[in-house]
Chain A
Amino acid sequence: MHASDLQRPDPLIRIEHLTKQFGDFTAVDNVSIGIEKGELFALLGGSGCGKTTLLRMLAGFETPSAGRIFIDGKDVTNSPPYERPVNMMFQSYALFPHMSVEKNVAYGLKHENMTDAQRRDRVREMLDLVQLTPLAGRKPHQISGGQRQRVALARALAKQPKVLLLDEPLAALDKKLREHTQFEIANIQYKTGITFVVVTHDQEEAMTLASRIAVMDKGIVRQIGSATDVYEYPNSRFVAGFIGSITMFEGVVTESNKTHTLVEAPQTGGIIRARADQRLSPNQKVTIAVRPEKIALSRERPENEANVLSGIVQDLGYFGKDSLYRVKLPSGLVLSVNSVNSRRAGENERIAQWEDQVWLSFDPSSVILLTE
């Protein structure tokens, strides 16, 4: 995967075998990524996975222990932050408290080779872009958190960098504002055409914002792909478990050919049929993974389905638009099933209640087989 990613022709940002160690701790471990011009790329992972360290190395605040960073063909591995065509939006926004909104936005332009009039125009343009023109004279402590976030964005964009780095851009906002700002950021990225690299721990944020996502864990990039790739086609147990919810259980391949793969899964008491996405050899141990929304739940035994299981409803959660059932098989394995409440129904009219015997079925194409 790393190798194939490096082979993309002339990415704007080329990260080659980048490693960062703090004493004995390896924060970033041999990471190679190519990011295209105009992409909105997300680094996704839990806390301590190395995503922020990677971003800080791109900005120039940390010096890599090994590896190289190229931006627009130029080796910037050892360049100081003030010489990189990169700007950053900090998680805490880091607005200068003693300067007005306007001065904050204009700050980076001081060193640019432009006339005062051009500078003023650019600041106006940036304030218009984030709709803060009426607040130009205010100090950062006189505006709301959401407005501060937009000032930080305008300030980072003012220099028209080749790359904008965003460190947890939405983490400090409340849920309503977050959803709104998410689209605003994507919209601004589209308007300006600047390459965005976003660090986030929030998978929904990564999936709605980014054109591609790098899933990181313990300093290693586990998978790079679109939101669909990492959700529907995870390449490892880690990625499958990290993105969304999923039920995983063990199995052994009994048959694998061009049309299908059969896996014996003792916990289901039978054979699971999967699509032949990848070549597997008989007797190979695999992990079978199924997403809750891919499983259908019914009172009667469904006909003409490849994978049919039966169990008892152990737990039930009602979320309005959908319900979550946790169904326990005779072996003790518990499967999560998500079912959309497409019909209006009272509590007593549900498909199933606690302790009810139900049937589960899912298509071979929904079965994910993981070897890593």
Chain B
Amino acid sequence: MASGSAHFRLKQWFHRTGWRSTIIATPYVWLLAFFFLPFLIVLVMSLATQADVSPPFAFGAEWPYVTFDNIARLFEDSLYIRAYLISISNAAITTVICLIIGYPMALCLTRVGKTWRNIFLMLVILPFWTSFLLRVYAWIGLMGTNSWFNKGLTFLYNTLVPSGSTLTSIPMMNSNFAVILVMVYCYLPFMVLPLYANLERLDFTLNEASMDLGSRPWRVFLDITLPLSIPGIIAGGLLVFIPASGEFVIPSLVGDASDPMIGRVIGDEFTAARDWPMASTVAVALLILLVLPTMAYTHFDSKAQAAREPNP
């Protein structure tokens, strides 16, 4: 009884002194200051025109002060459309490859003993302890024409693919292939970890029940494990697809400069072209392109979740 009333008094104090509101408000204040306000600045900037002042943009002198020319340019200049398409397709290919490699990895993590599971999980997370840039540079080295990796692949190609001419090396750098390869490498953990979290929660007796009712292992996977892991696939897919489509560093370092991804276009507009309003427009369009499907998914997922709650 005594501890109960002490607990109650603590709760009252907590409410009265405003700690409760402070704790609830903190993440919102953070979001407001570091996401919403900057986004608002970018949004407003996208409605301005380039100017030779600092910062390099200006608004019209009279009503309506803003211009929608940048948005029109987005659709007129094939460079942007093409960059969006390449970004989306690169991100989609990366996501699919990550899923194909990551799913068996995650499934294997749930099936091995505790010791091995911890070791494998460690191996999945370990690359994060090295700088991201360093890992991309390591790939530049590996893909270079004189590396053992390139020589090995060249040897394999020359032996396995019969043709008149033998290659001395495979040109991998500065290509879309290189971008996808490095993106798959960098984003694989973001696929494996949510998938593992999902698969690990699945009740293994369901697999036993399916097998007991006559299903062979492959059938058990298709009937039970796969459909029940769809939330994990979607979570992992979003975690890979969204950053991959806006990826800036990897295409800049290993990609084809004449056929850029959208992240690189934004960067170039900001720095080389000094066209901040155009860069902002491209960025806002990308955000809309990525956020809308995510919001739709979250909306339907929360609806589905509500349906899963037991009926009273």
Contacts and interface: CB of A to CB of B under 8 A. Distances in A.
A108 B206 contact: no
Interface string A133-144: 000000001100
A98 B208 contact: no
A61 interface: yes
A111 interface: yes
Interface in A93-151: 94-98, 107-108, 110-112, 141-142
A155 B224 CA distance: 16
A97 B224 CA distance: 9
A108 B220 CA distance: 12
A96 B210 contact: yes
Contacts of B210: 96, 107
B209 interface: yes
A199 to B, nearest CB: 14
B206 A82 contact: no
B154 interface: no
A87 B212 contact: yes
Interface string B204-244: 01101111111110000001100110000000000000000
Given A88-B209, A142-B311, A97 B216 contact: no
A88 B308 CA distance: 26
B62 interface: no
Main secondary structure of the interface of B (DSSP, over half): helix
B224 A82 contact: no
Interface string B116-132: 00000000000000000
B212 A141 contact: no
A82 B311 contact: no
B76 interface: no
B310 interface: yes
Looking at A61, A90, A94, the one whose CB has the most chain B CB atoms below 10 A away is A94
A59 B212 CA distance: 7
Contacts of A59: 208, 212
A65 interface: no
A159 B311 contact: no
Nearest to A80: B211
B203 interface: yes
A341 interface: no
Given A141-B308, A142-B310, A142-B311, A94 B206 contact: yes
A69 B212 CA distance: 17
Contact of A141 (B206, B213, B227, B310): B310
B213 to A, nearest CB: 3
Interface residues of A, number: 26
A24 B231 CA distance: 40
Contact of A159 (B209, B213, B308, B309): B213
Contacts of B309: 141
Interface string A23-67: 000000000000000000000000000000000000111000000
Given A90-B208, A94-B209, A98-B228, A159 B203 contact: no
B205 A87 contact: no
Interface in B175-227: 203, 205-206, 208-216, 223-224, 227
Interface string A323-354: 00000000000000000000000000000000
Contacts of A110: 214-215
A81 interface: yes
Nearest to B215: A82
A195 to B, nearest CB: 16
B81 to A, nearest CB: 40
A308 to B, nearest CB: 55
A83 to B, nearest CB: 8
Given A81-B208, A90-B208, A107 B213 contact: yes
B224 to A, nearest CB: 7
B214 A96 contact: no
A81 B203 contact: no
B214 A92 contact: no
B299 to A, nearest CB: 20
A90 B205 contact: yes
A108 B206 CA distance: 13
Contacts of A107: 210, 213, 223
A108 B311 CA distance: 27
Given A97-B228, A98-B228, A142-B310, A92 B205 contact: yes
A299 B215 CA distance: 68
B203 A92 contact: yes
A156 B212 CA distance: 9
Contacts of B209: 88, 90, 94-96
9 contacts: A59-B208, A61-B208, A80-B211, A82-B215, A90-B208, A95-B209, A108-B213, A110-B214, A111-B214
Given A82-B214, A159-B213, 9 more contacts: A59-B212, A81-B212, A82-B211, A82-B216, A87-B213, A94-B206, A97-B228, A107-B213, A159-B214
